[in-house]
Structure formats: C-alpha cells, structure tokens
C-alpha cells in the first residue's frame, strides 16, 4: 500500500524529533535553491519510524520551506 499523508509537528512529535535528530547526525538529504527572492528548502529521509508505538512501521518523510524576505512558510 502507498499513501501520501500530511503530518503536523504537534500531532507527530516522535517522527519530527526523529527527523531532527537524523538531520543533526547528517542522515537526511537537504536541498535548497533560490528562485528570484524566494528560497525553496527541502529535507527528507526514508524509512523513519512512524511513531513511538509503531516503530516497525517505516515512512518516507519530506519537509518543505518557502522563505521570502517577508516570511517563512513551513
């Protein structure tokens, strides 16, 4: 089965903490490019645990930021 789901940090703290820790350890892939005055930033990792109760269920995680001089959307 394949799904695309949205996840909020407040609802999936374990997953977001896992990704943050993996980023600090250099285990995520991060891509950044600029288009005029907009910076697009992507971070992803494959096969991360869904949550603390279901660590055997692995998911691919993608995070996106759009950064402009006025604001950052995440």
pLDDT score for 74 = 85
- Residue from 1, 8, 4 nearest 51 by CA: 8
CA dist 7 and 15 (Å) reads: 9
CA dist 50 and 68 (Å) reads: 31
pLDDT per residue of the chain (74 residues) written in tens, 0 to 9: 677 788 889 999 999 999 999 999 999 999 999 999 999 999 999 999 999 999 999 999 999 999 999 999 98
Strand 38-49 relative to strand 29-35, pairing: antiparallel
pLDDT score for 4 = 79
Sheet bearing 72-73, strands edge to edge: 29-35, 38-49, 58-67, 72-73
pLDDT score for 3 = 78
């Amino acid at each position: 089965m394949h799904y695309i789901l949205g996840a909020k940090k407040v609802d999936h703290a374990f997953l977001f903490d896992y990704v943050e820790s993996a980023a600090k350890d250099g285990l995520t892939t991060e891509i950044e490019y600029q288009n005029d005055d907009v910076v697009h930033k992507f971070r992803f990792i494959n096969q991360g645990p869904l949550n603390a109760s279901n660590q055997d269920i692995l998911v691919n995680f993608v995070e996106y930021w759009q950064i402009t001089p006025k604001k950052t959307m995440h």
